[in-house]
Amino acid sequence: MTFLFDIGNVLLKLHFENYRAKVLGDANTPLPDKLGILKDPYETGQISDDEFVTKSLQILKSNLSPQDYTEAWQDIFSPNDPMWEVVEKLQTDGHRLILFSNTNALHSTFFLEKYEVFQHFQHHHFSQEVGAIKPHDDFYQKAVDTYDLIPAETAYLDDLPENIATGKAFGFLSWQYDFNDHASCLDWLKSLGI
């Protein structure tokens, strides 16, 4: 079977409070709305890493250096150990594993190098590289075409309901993951015969 794994809040827990603390001086301060406008263009490869960092610093009116900003942007991850155990077992049992994520190069180069779990994945399908973003159909269709996916034989795990909805529309065996209820995910995998 093929497994498509989202990364944020599935394989890695996200801690944007770390980023806010470093760039705003307070983990609870909301980010400016203008910063959100950069997200989709950056995660679909329409703007470069340097352009993203420069524009972010301008929006934030920050005195951080580009290097310090980049380190703050990357320091948002921690392992979700229970899911890593699942990945290791799936890989040992011979399943095909594909990373299936909206992400950007500053994040992906960082976490692919830092966390050993990613060595278990044969492929990655990242929004910045394919020029499409979840939950839009073209992100999923490009994966189907690239990896010759058979939806009825493809399991998909993601934490966001809108992404899961598109996965179901494509016929994937889809599970909305909640790291606070990992046991339910294990039950779902058992129902698939895993």
pLDDT digits (tens, 9 = 90+) for 65-115: 999 999 999 999 999 999 999 999 999 999 999 999 999 999 999 999 999
- Name which of 179, 132, 187 is nearest 8 in CA terms: 179
| Residue-level pLDDT at 7 | 98
- Distance of alpha carbon 145 from alpha carbon 29, whole angstroms: 42
- Residue 180: what pLDDT? 95
The number of helices, as runs of H, and strands, as runs of E, in the chain is 11, 7
- Around 96, how many Cα atoms within 13 Å sit in the side-chain half-sphere? 13
pLDDT number for residue 154: 98
pTM: 0.94
Do 1 and 96 meet the contact criterion of CB atoms below 8 Å apart? Answer: yes
pLDDT computed for residue 182 by the predictor: 97
Q: Which residues contact 175 (CB under 8 A, 6 or more apart)?
A: 155, 156, 157, 158, 164, 185, 188
DSSP tag of 188: H
Beta-carbon contacts of 131 under 8 Å, excluding residues fewer than 6 positions away, are 44, 45
Average predicted confidence (pLDDT) for the chain: 96
The whole-angstrom separation of Cα 130 and Cα 172 is 20
Residue-wise pLDDT for 111-148, tens only, equals 999 999 999 999 999 999 999 999 999 999 999 999 99
Residue 26 has pLDDT above 90, yes or no: no
